[in-house]
Amino acid sequence: ARRCGGQDLAASGFRELGYVDALAGRRPAAAAQLAAALEIVGEDDDGLAGIHAVMGFNLVDWGRVEEGIHHYDLSLRHARAAGNLRRQIWSLGLGGWGQLAAGRADVAVRWLSDCLKMVDQTRWISFRPWPLAVLGEARLRQRQDPEPLRAVLEDAFALSCQLDDPCWESAVARSLALSFDAAGDTERSLHWLAEAHERCLRETDAFVGLLVQILADQAEICLRDGRIEQAGEFAREVL
């Protein structure tokens, strides 16, 4: 594409290669692909929105959370300028995950609520389970009652199963686990984390950032419950 002068197509290709590397946890490789995309995309707001969104995704799960949120902000600015609602939905939904990583539950709730309004507006049903999963966690961080949150999460889990999407299934299963943990039900929390773990690994292209978070939750809850050997197993799997 670059040899033929198709800069927009080449930038999209580098962005997608960067996303594949980011999903798999290959952080420096993803950063290199995305830098190449950014170098050739020019002033196209739509293209810039997509690249900055994936840069945010890679950086947040790399532990460079504030840098990642900065790129989500840039993505949203460009997506609004381009009038691309789906780009806005993606950046608000994944950016909400970044805001949680930064410890800003209130901001996360606002981003995810806006995301869901746009999901309804565009009828992008296949994306819906993700913001519902992260919104559930954000509201648990705000100390909201887990019982009413769980009913919404159960609906989201059913939808993710209908979509046959292992990432969404595992994300919602993890949030269900957190709802049971908030209610003091360790057994059901660990059951749902086991479901999340298994579903996240169902396909070869696992969302590694989510998998690491599931394993960390399993290790933390087992350690808190005195299951030292199990906690050690999960911690070693993270490493």
pLDDT tens digits for range 165-212? 999 999 999 999 999 999 999 999 999 999 999 999 998 888 999 999
pLDDT tens for each residue of the chain, 239 residues long = 888 888 889 999 999 999 999 999 999 999 999 999 999 998 999 999 999 999 999 999 999 999 999 999 999 999 999 999 999 999 999 999 999 999 999 999 999 999 999 999 999 999 999 999 999 999 999 999 999 999 999 999 999 999 999 999 999 999 999 999 999 999 999 999 999 999 999 988 889 999 999 999 999 999 999 999 999 999 999 88
Q: What is the pLDDT of residue 71?
A: 98
User: Tell me, what's the pLDDT at 57?
Assistant: 98
| pLDDT for res 159 | 97
pLDDT at 204: 82
Q: Which long-range contacts (CB under 8 A, 24 or more apart) does 191-197 make?
A: 193/217, 193/218, 193/221, 194/218, 195/169, 195/170, 196/169, 196/170, 196/171, 197/170
- Identity of residue 205: D
pLDDT at 220: 96
Residue with tokens 């399993």: 218
**CA separation for the pair 134, 44 (Å, rounded):** 30
Q: Are 88 and 124 in contact, with CB atoms under 8 Å apart?
A: no
Q: What is the pLDDT of residue 161?
A: 97
pTM: 0.94
- DSSP label of 44: -
For tokens 């806005």, what's the residue?
A: 88
pLDDT at 146: 96
Q: What is the pLDDT of residue 6?
A: 84
Nearest of 139, 91, 138 to residue 115 by alpha carbon: 91
